[in-house]
Amino acid sequence: MRALVVGLGSIGRRHLGNIRTVEPDAEITVVRHARSDAPPPEGADRVVYTIEDAIALGPDVAFVCGPTSKHVQQAVALADAGAHLFVEKPLAADVAGAEAIVDAAARSGVSLIVGYNLRFLPSLQVLKRELESGSIGRPTSARAEVGQYLPDWRPGVDYRESNSARAELGGGIELELSHEIDYVGWLLGDAASVTAVLSKTSDLEIEGDDTAEIVSSMRSGALASIHLDMTQRATTRTCRIAGTAGTLLWDGIAGRVTRYLPDGGWTTLHDGDGDRNQMYVREAEHVFACARGTAAPVVGGGDGLRTVRIAAAARASSDEGRRINL
């Protein structure tokens, strides 16, 4: 299996290591943007500096991990060359770009997986199964929240130079923190409309907004509220789902799922996710299974496109001061 990793930031390095773990005999090429005389990074067999040189090597699978602003050009070229695709989240910086990637994958008949790795976290999978079991009845509302202080995201990296801070790299809080948008849709289905306020509330030296409140009316009839911020000093990631018969609560930091039922109070259903890198390992295993045709994408191009559409609707709603129907 010939594998390609495009971009070697923190997430690219993580995927490189995990590819070597799950496919020890793979021939791994890394695409770097800055030329260097240094040897290939640990786990890689070679380094090239252009997508054209990478394509000439005939990759079977490509992990596209560079800036969001480059996803469309790179992913479409690789799909057209017949490489199965893994594209880090978000799929693209705008709807047209996301559609172009989805269309290219369909045209070439290659698999397309988008990097919403939380779908591979055991605690979130438990939440999904419990919701589907019907134990809390019909979901009526959900509140998802994520907050983490941006300078703490990537130790050793100047946050002001990151995707999250620079608009030209495809950043923006509604895309950078779009895991919540993705998994709310996974749990509750499609949104019918979006109302949002995005704002710069902190003293962070970034070009865009650092806080977002997004409210989605779901086609199921439920109401979903999503809070995103880059400012909280105490990292948080939670989701509370209220139903007609009970409540489910997910703590993504502790890896804990609890359920409230009127006749039994609170019960812990899952407590701890262990080594969090394992969700990335399972994600990598899934990418190769899809490339071999033994699995269908858990987070496919349609999922990635849906999330970009909702993020775009949230931005439009905030800019225009109105509800956006989907």
Give yes or no: residues 184 and 319 share one domain. Answer: yes
* pLDDT for 25: 97
Give yes or no: residues 83 and 175 share one domain. Answer: no
Give yes or no: residues 77 and 173 share one domain. Answer: no
Give yes or no: residues 175 and 209 share one domain. Answer: yes
Distance CA 79, CA 108 (A): 6
Give yes or no: residues 155 and 50 share one domain. Answer: no
* pLDDT for 207: 81
156 pLDDT more than 80 = no
Give yes or no: residues 104 and 227 share one domain. Answer: no
CA distance readout (Å), 324 to 51, 196, 317: 37, 9, 6
Amino acid letter for position 20: R
172 pLDDT more than 90 = no
* pLDDT for 160: 76
Give yes or no: residues 98 and 126 share one domain. Answer: no
Distance CA 179, CA 16 (A): 22
* Residue 40 domain boundaries: 2-117+283-298
* Residue 223 belongs to domain with CATH number: 3.30.360.10
Concatenated DSSP letters of 223-246: EEEEEEES--SS-EEEEEEEESS-
Q: Which residue has the tokens 């799922």?
A: 257
Give yes or no: residues 313 and 205 share one domain. Answer: yes
Give yes or no: residues 34 and 54 share one domain. Answer: yes
Please give the model's pTM, rounded to 2 decimal places.
0.94
More confidently predicted of 154 and 32 = 32
* Residue 98 belongs to domain with CATH number: 3.40.50.720
Distance CA 302, CA 288 (A): 19
Q: Looking at the 3D structure of the chain, how many domains does it have?
A: 2
Q: What is the mean pLDDT of residues 50-57?
A: 96
Give yes or no: residues 133 and 269 share one domain. Answer: yes
Q: Could you tell me the pLDDT band of residue 163, with boundaries at 50, 70 and 90?
A: low
CA distance readout (Å), 240 to 131, 195, 223: 11, 20, 12
Give yes or no: residues 65 and 16 share one domain. Answer: yes
Give yes or no: residues 204 and 58 share one domain. Answer: no
Q: What is the mean pLDDT of residues 9-20?
A: 95
More confidently predicted of 311 and 152 = 311
